[in-house]
Structure 1
């Protein structure tokens, strides 16, 4: 039963990651990280397929082995978060919403900056 649950979680996040390939605002690698984590508990073969993928395998392996995030990925993520907070402010969201969003995004940005570069 547990194996089946982990397998379902893996396929769910793998599906979202695949959608992220086509939609530029949906990140792919974070969803593949969760899928690989779930597949490690349910299907080592599927986990290995993610790790062996020529495009998406290296960033997943870098995260799993060293907690590393690529420099370009860091720049894109922080830029997107900054743009999202700026857009919220520009469209007139309540100040408290923008402040909470900014605090969360700043925390994530600090976390990303402190990760080693892949």
Structure 2
């Protein structure tokens, strides 16, 4: 488990990343118990935020006995659980569909749909772990 942690030099960026990181941890933990909330994407986001804001929190999260395996499996190239892939892609497309409905600008819709397609392809391309 030798992953790079490079903290941002800007305090405003660091505090913003810490806030998003902790919010993601909370949502990820809730996702363990609530079937419609994805755990893995939120924990990966938290790890990415902590990797740029706090080495201490990053090491805590990645080394956590319950939460760490979700992240380490991905970082070590073992993949993402099928449940995580399904929820991440499903919720992303639901939010993109709602956003496209609410935003009438064709260029914004094209941008959102392009991003959703690319993110979906990236997630689908990752190795799949059995459900946890």
Query: TM-score when scaled to structure 2?
Result: 0.63
The structure whose residues are more often helix, as a share, is 1
Report how far residue 56 of structure 1 moved.
1.7
| 1:30 corresponds to 2:50 | no
Q: Which residue of 2 aligns with 1:56?
A: 67
Distance 1:54 1:17, change over 3 A: same
For 1:85 and 1:15, the matched residues in 2 are separated by 24
Gaps of 5+ in 2: 1-5, 32-36
- Contact preservation (8 Å) 1:3, 1:42: yes
Residue pairs, 1:62-73, within 5 angstroms = 62-66=73-77, 68-73=79-84
SS of match in other structure, 1:28: helix
SS of match in other structure, 1:37: helix
For 1:3 and 1:84, the matched residues in 2 are separated by 31
- Contact preservation (8 Å) 2:38, 2:84: no
Equivalenced residue count is 114
SS of match in other structure, 2:128: coil
Distance 1:103 1:42, change over 3 A: same
Per-residue displacement from partner, 1:16-39 (whole Å, max 9, x unpaired)?
Answer: 323434595895212232145347
Gaps of 5+ in 1: none
Report how far residue 116 of structure 1 moved.
0.4
Report how far residue 96 of structure 1 moved.
2.1
Q: Using CA pairs under 8 Å that are at least 6 residues apart, name the structure with larger relative contact order, 1 or 2.
A: 2
| 1:87 corresponds to 2:124 | no
Q: What do you get for the CA RMSD once the two structures are aligned?
A: 3.5
